[in-house]
Amino acid sequence: MKIDFSFYKDLPVWLKSSLIIGVVVSVLVGFFAVSRYTDINDGLCRGCHPTIHAMWENSKAHPASKVTCYECHTKEMGTFPDEDTNLIIHYRDKIIPIHFSSGRKMLNDNCLRCHDDIPKLKEVKNTRIVKISHAKHYKAEKVKIDDCMVCHYAIAHDKFAIETNRPRMQGCFLGECHKDDTKEERCELCHFVKLVEEEKVLEKITEK
């Protein structure tokens, strides 16, 4: 079937120009839309990282329905480029994320981008078993932690049988952090539920 474009030569100049611009814009928008979809679609990540992808899908802290791979593993691009950044490259990377990374700095920056209020909290609300003062741990006077990944490295890819996506007790005893507290059995510093009650709570959580 042959399409007749002879009508085009009889159109006014302004309409010809509008049609050309419309076609060009449509092609560009379509190209960027398809490119963005293929780049941020989690199927691309699943192809090379099936095990990690499965952990993320079952994540309790960052469910697949709310948080995607690229939101944690790509650099957040501002509305306007930096002075030393090319304008075209900046908006290309903003529309089509390409610099995926699991580096701690990028992950930490993305944690703070979404949870900038957490480091200031003295106590996290709605906790069932453990209370942690982020204000005393993140860039505090005695504790010099400035990296969310120190405690939350498995926040979206929990490898343990009972998934919590939360810090593990063993990590609290590394180095000099809470070594003396274990000797003095000062469990109440973090555990506001008695250990017997805690086991019952854990059983209820696992049953769900």
- Residue 180: its pLDDT value, please? 76
How do the domains of the chain map onto residue ranges? Answer: 11-114, 118-207
What residues form DSSP beta bridges with 130?
191
Task: Name the nearest CA neighbour of 45 among 20, 17, 19, 74.
Answer: 74
More confident residue, 53 or 193: 53
pLDDT of 31-50, one tens digit each? Answer: 989 988 888 888 888 989 99
Q: Which amino acid is at 137?
A: H
Residue 118: HSE in the Cβ half-sphere, 13 Å Cα cutoff: 15
pLDDT of 106-120, one tens digit each? Answer: 899 999 988 888 888
Residue 29: HSE in the Cβ half-sphere, 13 Å Cα cutoff: 6
Task: Name the nearest CA neighbour of 193 among 111, 108, 130, 112.
Answer: 130
Give me 60's structure tokens: 């309790």
- Residue 27 predicted with pLDDT over 90: yes
Which residues have C-beta within 8 Å of that of residue 135, sequence separation ≥ 6?
Answer: 119, 120, 121, 122
* Lowest model confidence (mean pLDDT) among 27-31, 32-36, 144-148, 177-181: 177-181
